[in-house]
Amino acid sequence: MTRSIVRTLALLRSSLALAAFLFVIGATRAVTQRAVATADVNVRPTPSAATTPLRTLTVGDTVQVLSPVASHGYLRVRTEDDRTSGWVYRRYLELTDTASAAESVTVASTTNDAPADYHNCAVGGDPNPNGSEYQQVSALNELKNRYHAPNDAQVDSVVTLARMLERGDDTDRFDENHGAVIEGWVDRVRVGGIETVNCHARAAKYRDTHIEVSLNNGEGETRRVIVEVTPRWRAALASHGVDWSTHALQQLLTGKRVQFRGWLLFDREHVAQAENTNPGNASDWRATVWEIHPVTQIVVLGN
């Protein structure tokens, strides 16, 4: 078989895999989340109590949630009866199903052994196949690139930001097979490094977004937990009209109190750079190796 034919077949396989990836995402777009008003509450044109209400919901009214990302404590909704679109304070809404628009994105399967490539990069990334830790790095990358969200049964309710920040060797503190929901203050949002997990991509849209979260606004680096948005989830949310680019998240999250939901991950590549596993090291830039990675849902709680 000639080299040109081999290359053509390889490109065809990659294209078909990507098409399957996009098709399954597109198929989930019909899945919507609804919520019920738990009190009389106003629908406003912007996420601010200073604006004139468009209308008022009464207890029991049902609305469609248009975005899984809250802004200043408000969710963007559409009323079921007169199709008014606006913002309602999240506290007075009870979600009627467990999957948000972000969490409804399920690609191909709920396992890590049948993934589609994304941007010509498989979930195992591109570690050196001749390297001594090739299998370990590939397995870690597959966890980082999970593209199904943890369901409620998989979320470990014991995990909190305070628990993640507890001092001491935390190597076996949590379980990577579980998800978690944490709340804290976002100190910094930045583009992640050039890594094997994303096949050494250089463009920001194909690299992770690092979000640094602490219990109190403005704490030092060694009192922060890292949560990460991956390129696969960024692309999935874009198909729902939600912008999870690093720039957008910097504008939306920095200096805010935010809730993150996603998978627990022990990023063993940073054991020597975390206070809990390498205490007192002058080059430590994080509290723990444990992360929420990938992030599958973001809710801004307020300033």
Please report the domains of the chain, with CATH numbers, ordered by start residue. 33-95 (2.30.30.40), 134-302 (2.40.50.140)
DSSP character at residue 248: H
CA–CA separation, 83 and 171 (whole Å): 50
**What are the residues whose beta carbons fall under 8 Å from the beta carbon of 188, sequence distance 6 or more?**
210, 211, 212, 254
Mark residue 110 as left, alpha or beta (left: phi above 0; alpha: psi -120 to 50; beta: remaining).
alpha
Please give the pLDDT value at position 8: 39
pLDDT of 219 reads 92
pLDDT of residue 68: 63
- pTM of this prediction? 0.65
Give the model's pLDDT for residue 69: 67
pLDDT of residue 279: 96
Dump pLDDT digits (tens) for 272-301. 999 999 999 999 999 999 999 999 988 888
Q: pLDDT at position 196, please?
A: 96
What is the per-residue pLDDT for 32? Answer: 55
Q: Identify the segments of the chain with pLDDT beneath 50.
A: 1-31, 98-115
